[in-house]
Amino acid sequence: MDADTYKPGVGDLVDGRYELKDSLGKGGMAQVWRAREVSGGREVAVKFLRHDSEALYCLDPYEREAELAVRNARFRREANLLGTLDHPGITELYGSGSHLGVPYIAMRLVTGVSLRTFLDEHSPLPLATAVAVAIQVAGALACAHTLPVVHRDLKPANIMIDEEGWVVLIDFGIAKPLHADATRYTAHGSTLGTRGYLAPEQLLEREPTTRTDVYCFGCIFYELLTGRPPFPLGPESGLTDKHLNEVPLPPSTYAAGIPEPIGDLVLRMLAKKPEQRPAVDEVLEVLDPFAPGVGDPEPRPRTHPDPTAPMRRPPDRAVRPRPVALTLPVASAPADEWLDARVVEQFCAQAESEIASGEPGDATDRLHGLTERVRKEWGERRPLVRRVWQGAADGFRLSGNFGAAARLYQAVDNDLIHGDGPAERADRALLRLRLAECRLTFGELEAAIATVDAAGRTAAGLPPELAARVEAVRHAVDAQLTARLAEPRRREA
């Protein structure tokens, strides 16, 4: 029996490890089964790549073989990504392999309902419920985007709410790493993603970035708040043109009681240009003041499951940690003692030495944990505060944590550089170049081009020594940008 003829059935023992119990459903590219792990007895979900889909039968033999090769490669990549993503809002990978020629992925079984079913049953949602779902989705996305990985198929059907109220992001089947050496797979037939939840750049078949997910997430959040997507489906709705050109009405048009910061946030998430959308970390920051808290009453009308329950539950009764954006390690000094500036200066000097060697180590880790504390104790104008933040950002960048590095560089640029003399202009140009370097990893090429051009103009007006510092970094970032622009500009899978 080969991959073209094998069809999973009840009682099948997959790879000697998983006994199939019942089918949970199938789509165009995969089918999912509930199974029992033979060694431990726990229930798992086993996802099989489909070799028998209707779309494949419509192709000639050569096209079918090529498309199957792409699907197999994507399926292997999904398994690799799930093994890398570590977040309670993303299904854990238990194992992967091939059974009778058919690739499979075994992962955590999420029992509950899809967000699509939840919305169909409970819309319109109480504000607290909508915010609770959005915060949990944003936490999972923050984990993926830090790698960086873009999901590319965010929609209510790919979000689950389990029986305890935890929200889980599923189906990374067309997710894509954004680092420069990620393998590219040419798509066959249609734009990747789901109609109604596609960003303008997806409709135009352009490079995805993490802000692509933010747009799709914005469509979902709009529906959470109002009970309808920003551009509803219809036989003659002109949906593509609306996503490309039409500004959605404010969500408050359809639902009362939406706080202004949330309404503004949703519209910014739905900006047509990726660079105008907030990063997912900013989404979390805006939503945090509106999050349900421990001891808050259950929202009315009640829903089951209740996505606010994990946030309202006392910490000692929480089943899993609340999903949030990545946090920094705790500082070395006890929280009830004032920081010693001489000790912090020593940490900075040691970290800068590690960074100069290209190998961030223990001292750099200490800076990561001191950022918020030095800012709180010493304010935003003390040079040592900026030194801590910039050292932490440089450490994150060199260790490959580009999302965290970008957040710190942006904060330094926004809040910690004061004055407009030559030294400050040079520092701003250098920070923005490093920020552009991080964002290159996320595919944000247009913003990087603008930053490199602006840095060149800034350097032209600086004293020679400062200009040389800016030009050295500018040329390095420009070389990376040139390499990215030289990559084949074809639609990816």
Q: Is residue 249 part of a domain?
A: yes
| Number of domain units in the chain | 3
Output the CA–CA distances (angstroms, integers) from residue 307 to 1, 302, 332, in the order listed.
45, 10, 35
Other CB atoms within 10 Å distance of the CB of residue 459: 21
Query: What is the pLDDT, as a whole number, of residue 491?
Result: 40
Residue 492 falls within a domain, yes or no? no
Chain mean position to CA 386: 27
Report yes or no: 46 and 106 within 8 Å, Cβ to Cβ.
yes
The pair phi, psi for residue 37, each rounded to 5°, is: -75, 120
- Classify the phi-psi angles of 296: left when phi > 0, otherwise alpha if psi is within -120 to 50, otherwise beta: beta
Tell me the pLDDT of the chain averaged across its residues: 85
Q: How far apart are CA 101 and CA 397, in angstroms?
A: 41
Task: Note the pLDDT of residue 401.
Answer: 77
User: Residues 121, 58: one domain?
Assistant: no
Element (DSSP H or E) covering residue 454 = helix 445-460
Please answer whether residues 175 and 141 qualify as being in contact, where contact means their C-beta atoms are separated by less than 8 angstroms.
Answer: no
Residue of 56 and 19 predicted with greater confidence: 19
Do 270 and 122 fall within a single domain?
A: yes
Res 56: pLDDT:
65
Reported as type and span, the H/E element at residue 457 is helix 445-460
Out of 108, 130, 160, pick the residue that ends a domain.
108
Question: 419, exposed or middle or buried, with CB in 10 Å at 0-12, 13-18, 19+?
Answer: exposed
**Lookup: tokens for 465:** 């020594």
- Cα dihedral sign for 140, 141, 145, 150? positive
Rounded mean pLDDT of 460-479?
Answer: 93
pLDDT, position 179: 56
Q: Lowest-confidence range among 79-88, 114-123, 332-341, 406-415?
A: 332-341
Q: What is the dihedral of CA 407, 367, 147, 451, to 10 degrees?
A: 40
333/491 Cα distance (integer angstroms): 50
Residues 177 and 269 in one domain: yes
| Residue that finishes a domain, picked among 46, 78, 108 | 108
> Residue 448: inside a domain, yes or no?
yes
**Domain check: are 365 and 258 in the same one?**
no
Residue 349 has pLDDT above 50, yes or no: yes
- Does the pLDDT of residue 131 top 80, yes or no? yes
Contacts of 223 (CB under 8 A, 6+ apart): 119, 123, 156, 229, 230
Name the more confident of 337 and 491.
337
Reported as a pLDDT band with limits 50, 70 and 90, residue 320 is low
- What backbone phi and psi angles, to 5 degrees, belong to 236? -130, 45
Q: Does 333 fall in a domain?
A: no
280 confidence band (pLDDT: 50, 70, 90): very high
Span 162-195, pLDDT tens digits: 999 999 999 888 787 775 444 444 444 445 557 6
Edge-to-edge order in the sheet of strand 43-49: 13-14, 18-26, 30-37, 43-49, 102-108, 93-99
Shared domain for 101 and 116, answered yes or no, is no
Mean per-residue pLDDT, 59-70 = 74
Let me know whether 140 and 286 are in one domain. Answer: yes
Confirm whether 327 is domain-assigned: no
With 0-12 CB in 10 A as exposed, 13-18 as middle and 19+ as buried, what is 140? buried
**CA gap 410, 396 in Å, rounded:** 13
Task: Among 64, 81, 108, identify where a domain stops.
Answer: 108
Q: What is the CATH number of the domain that holds 43?
A: 3.30.200.20
Residues marked as binding?
47
20 lies in which domain range? Answer: 13-108
Choose between 56 and 259: higher pLDDT: 259
Residue bearing the bigger pLDDT, 349 or 400: 349
Q: Determine contact, residues 390/349, Cβ cutoff 8 Å.
A: no
Distance, in Å, from the CA atom of 134 to the CA atom of 184, rounded to the nearest integer, reads: 30
Residues 374 and 452 in one domain: yes
Q: What is the pLDDT of residue 459?
A: 95
Q: Cα dist. 174→91, 132, 271 in Å?
A: 15, 26, 23
Q: In what order do the strands lie in the sheet with 159-162?
A: 112-114, 159-162, 167-169
- Do residues 20 and 64 both lie within one domain? yes
Rg for the chain, CA atoms, rounded: 24
Confidence of residue 423 (pLDDT cuts 50, 70, 90): very high
Which residues have a catalytic role annotated?
153
Nearest Cα to 158, choosing from 148, 144, 178, 177? Answer: 144
Does residue 302 share a domain with residue 202? yes
Residue 3 lies in a domain: no
Please check the confidence at residue 490 and state whether its pLDDT lies above 50.
Answer: no
| Separation between Cα atoms, residue 308 and residue 19, nearest integer Å | 35
- Residue 377: alpha-carbon gap to chain centroid: 32
Same domain for 349 and 251, yes or no, is: no
Contacts made by residues 405-414, CB under 8 angstroms, sequence distance 24+: 405/434, 405/438, 406/279, 406/435, 406/438, 406/439, 406/442, 407/279, 407/281, 408/371, 409/434, 409/435, 409/438, 410/435, 412/386
pLDDT above 50 (res 384): yes
Whether residue 182 lies inside any domain: the answer is yes
Q: Between these two residues, 148 and 88, which has the higher pLDDT value?
A: 88
> Quick one: pLDDT at residue 439?
80
DSSP state of 321: P
Rounded Cα distance between 327 and 461, Å, is 38
Domain-located, residue 323: no
Q: Are residues 99 and 116 in the same domain?
A: no
Same domain, 34 and 90: yes
Q: Binding-site residues for ATP, please?
A: 47
464 CB contacts (<8 Å, ≥6 apart)?
A: none
Res 51: pLDDT: 74
How much is the pLDDT for 394? 92
